[in-house]
Structure 1
Amino acid sequence: MSANDLPTLLSVALLARVGPARDRLREALGQAGATLVLEEDPNTLELQALRDAAPGAVLIALEPAIEDALERLDPVLASPSLTLIFDEAELAARREGWEAQRWARHLVAKLQGHLDVLPPGSEQDGLLQPEPGLPTTPAQLHADAPLEFHVREAFDAAGDVPADGLYPAPETRGEPMSLEEALAALQPPAAAPPAAPPPMAPPPVPLGDHSSWSLVDDDAAAPAAPAPASAPAAPSGDFDTARLSLVELEAERPADGAAAGAVLVLAGIGGPDALRRLLASLPAGLATPVLVHMRLDGGRYGNLVKQMARVSALPVLLAEAEQPVQAGNAYILPDDVGLALRQGGLYFNADAQGVQVGTLPAAHSAVVLLSGADASQVESVLGLAAEGAWVAGQVGEGCYDPTAANAVVAAGMDAGEPPQLAERIVDRWGVAE
Structure 2
Amino acid sequence: MSASDGHALLTIALLARPGAARERLREALDHAGARVVFEDDPTTLELQALRDADPGAVLIALEPAIEDALERLDPVLASPSLTLIFDEAELAARRDGWEAQRWARHLVAKLHGHQDVLPPGSEQDQQLQPEPGLPTTPAELHADAPLEFHLREAADAAPEVPSDGLYQAPQDLSEPVSLEEALAALQPLPDAPGMPGIPVPAPAADIAASVAPIAAIGDHSRWSLVEDHVVTTTYAPAAEAAPARFDIDRLSLVELEPDTGIEGGCPGAVLVLAGIGGPDALRRLLAALPESLTTAVLVHMRLDGGRYGNLVKQMARVSALPVVLAEVAQPVDAGQVYILPDDVGIAGSQGGLHFIADAAGIRIEALPAAHSAVVLLSGADAGQVDAVLALAGAGAWVAGQIGEGCYDPTAASAVVAAGQDAGEPPQLAATIAQRWGVDA
Structure 2-normalised TM-score? 0.55
Write the distance in 1 (CA, Å) between the matches of 2:74 and 2:108: 33
Task: List gaps (5 residues or longer) in structure 2.
Answer: 88-99, 116-260
Judge conservation of contact 1:14–1:26 (CA < 8 Å) in 2: no
Q: Does 1:93 align with 2:104?
A: yes
Q: 1:324 aligns with which of 317, 320, 331?
A: 331
Deviation at 1:102, TM superposition (A): 2.6
CA displacement 1:117-158 (0-9 Å, x = unmatched): xxxxxxxxxxxxxxxxxxxxxxxxxxxxxxxxxxxxxxxxxx
Question: Structure 2 vs 1, CA of residues 328 and 18 (structure 1 numbering), >3 Å: closer, same or farther?
Answer: same
Q: Is the 2:109–2:407 Cα contact (8 Å) retained in structure 1? A: no
Residue 280 of structure 1 corresponds to 287
Deviation at 1:272, TM superposition (A): 0.2
Alignment correspondent of 1:39: 39
Structure-2 separation of matches of 1:298 and 1:407: 28
Say which of 346, 353, 370 aligns to 2:377. 370
Q: CA deviation at 1:353?
A: 1.2
Counterpart residue number, 2:45: 49
Aligned ranges for residues 262-281 of structure 1 at < 5 Å?
262-281=269-288
TM-score (norm 1): 0.56
Matched, 1:73 2:77: no
Report if aligned partners of 1:14, 1:58 keep a CA contact under 8 Å in 2. no
Residue 359 of structure 1 pairs with residue 366 of structure 2: yes
For residues 395 and 4 of structure 2, the distance between their equivalents in structure 1, rounded to whole angstroms, comes to 53
Match of 1:410 among 403, 409, 417: 417
Partner residue, 1:306:
313
Inter-CA distance 2–409: structure 2 relative to 1 (3 Å threshold) = closer
Matched residues, number = 274
Residue 67 of structure 1, CA deviation:
2.5
| Rg larger in structure | 2
Residue type of the alignment partner of 1:85: T
* Deviation, structure 1 residue 396: 0.8
Aligned to 2:352: 345
CA contact (8 A) 1:3 1:30 kept: no
| In 1: Cα distance, 2:354 partner to 2:106 partner | 40
Q: In the alignment, is the contact (CA less than 8 A) between 1:267 and 1:293 conserved in 2?
A: yes
What one-letter code is carried by the residue in structure 2 that aligns with 1:369? L
- Cα distance change, pair 346–62 in 1 and its aligned pair in 2 (3 A): farther
Counterparts of 1:336 and 1:2 in 2: how far apart (Å)? 43
1:68, distance to aligned residue in structure 2 (A): 1.8
User: Which of residues 22, 26, 29 is equivalent to 1:22?
Assistant: 26
Q: Identify if the C-alpha distance between structure 1 residues 257 and 4 changes in structure 2 by more than 3 Å, giving closer, same or farther.
A: closer
Deviations 1:405-428 (A, max 9, x none): 011111111111100100111111
- Does structure 1 residue 431 correspond to structure 2 residue 421? no
Cα 1:9–1:261 change in 2 (3 A) is closer
Distance 1:406 1:6, change over 3 A: closer
Tell me the alpha carbon deviations over residues 14-56 of structure 1, each in whole angstroms, 9 at most, x when there is no partner: 225445643454687957xxx82x313xxxx252334362425
For 1:160-201, what per-residue CA distance to the aligned partner results, in whole angstroms no more than 9, with x for missing partners?
xxxxxxxxxxxxxxxxxxxxxxxxxxxxxxxxxxxxxxxxxx
Distance 1:61 1:362, change over 3 A: same
Cα RMSD (Å): 3.5
Separation of aligned partners in 2, 1:419 and 1:280: 8
SS state of the match for residue 353, structure 2?
strand
Letter of the structure 1 residue corresponding to residue 85 of structure 2: D
Quickly say closer, same or farther: Cα 1:386–1:59, change in 2 above 3 A. Answer: same
Bigger drift between 347-356 and 363-372 goes to 347-356
Shift of 1:429: 1.2
Tell me the residue number matched to 2:95: none
Q: Distance in 1 between matches of 2:76 and 2:290?
A: 18
Task: Select which of 291, 295, 303 maps to 2:302.
Answer: 295
Q: Distance in 2 between matches of 1:5 and 1:411?
A: 33
Residues 2 and 356 of structure 1, relative CA distance in 2, 3 Å threshold? closer
Query: Identical aligned pairs, as a percentage?
Result: 58
Q: Using the alignment, how far apart are the partners of 2:412 and 2:371 within structure 1? A: 21
Give the structure 2 partner of residue 61 of structure 1. Answer: 59
Amino acid of the residue matched to residue 399 of structure 1? C
Q: Structure 1 CA distance, aligned partners of 2:12 and 2:108? A: 23
In 2, the alpha carbon distance for the partners of 1:103 and 1:69 equals: 33
Quote the Cα distance in structure 2 between the aligned partners of 1:26 and 1:338.
Answer: 41
Q: How far 1:268 moved relative to its partner? A: 0.3
Do 2:265 and 2:332's aligned partners in 1 also have CA atoms closer than 8 Å? yes
Partner residue in 2 for 1:13: 13
Q: Sort the Cα spacing of 1:13 and 1:359 in 2 relative to 1 into closer, same or farther, 3 A.
A: same
Structure-2 separation of matches of 1:2 and 1:278 = 23
The aligned counterpart of 1:199 is: none
**1:102 corresponds to which of 113, 120, 126:** 113
Summarize the Cα distance change of 1:345–1:279 in structure 2 as closer, same or farther, 3 Å threshold. Answer: same
Corresponding residue for 2:247?
Answer: none
